[in-house]
Amino acid sequence: MLNKGDYICVFCASKVPEDPELGHAAEDLGRLIAENGYNLVYGGGGRGLMGLVAKGAYQAGSHVLGVIPEALSTEESSVSEDSFVGGKGSISTIMVKDMHSRKRIMADKCSAFVSLPGGYGTFEELLEITTWSILGIHNKPIVILNFNGFYDPLVKLFENSVQSGFISDGNMKIASFCDSVGDVLASIDSYVAPETRFNLDWSTS
């Protein structure tokens, strides 16, 4: 269960999707996060789905925290309060040197992860944070928005890996899939980290 003021980390693309409904869904997710009293931490870009989820959260009153590497700040157009009109929230950006620092800060700041559809970068972020959970580095909710079946192939890939003995049956549930933006927060609230994860001590790492 999240507390008011907690950050939700959203992984998403810096590109505009072909389907405009997906863009609306990203903005709706940002708005939903804000309207329920949470804040947003994300990759810091002002374009594509990144910009839309930030816009939704900022306009509805969230603090929007972007974490972006210096090398990507021009390519992804780092966001500021001048980016959107009529916002009720606030925006701040942490500039970092590399991708590893970006992911670590986002993970440290948030209480839950949500992945929207995206490309290689989104997949990499999602799978790394899922691996961190399997290894016991965190036990935070991981929710995947399976918009219009976008992630159906990933569900099948996970199932194939379970059948092949690479993922345990219990760890199949380490990431929760939902079909609509309206189900995201309910999926976060009902999430239970599988007991089949490794119980490792990372305190000295």
pLDDT at 19: 94
| CATH classification for the domain delimited by 7-190, as one of 3.40.50.450, 3.40.50.2300, 2.40.50.140, 3.40.50.970 | 3.40.50.450
pLDDT at 205: 57
Q: Chunked in runs of 10, what are the mean pLDDT values of the chain (205 residues)?
A: 95 93 97 98 94 95 95 78 79 94 97 98 97 96 98 97 96 96 97 94 80
pLDDT at 87: 82
Whole-model pTM over 0.75: yes
User: Is the alpha carbon torsion for 156, 160, 163, 169 positive or negative?
Assistant: negative
pLDDT at 78: 73
How far, in Å, CA of 36 to CA of 56, rounded?
13
Q: What is the DSSP letter of 78?
A: B
pLDDT at 81: 67
Domain ranges of the chain: 7-190
**Which conformational region is residue 137 in: left (phi greater than 0), alpha (psi within -120 to 50 degrees), or beta?**
alpha
pLDDT at 74: 80
pLDDT at 79: 76
How far, in Å, CA of 200 to CA of 136, rounded?
6
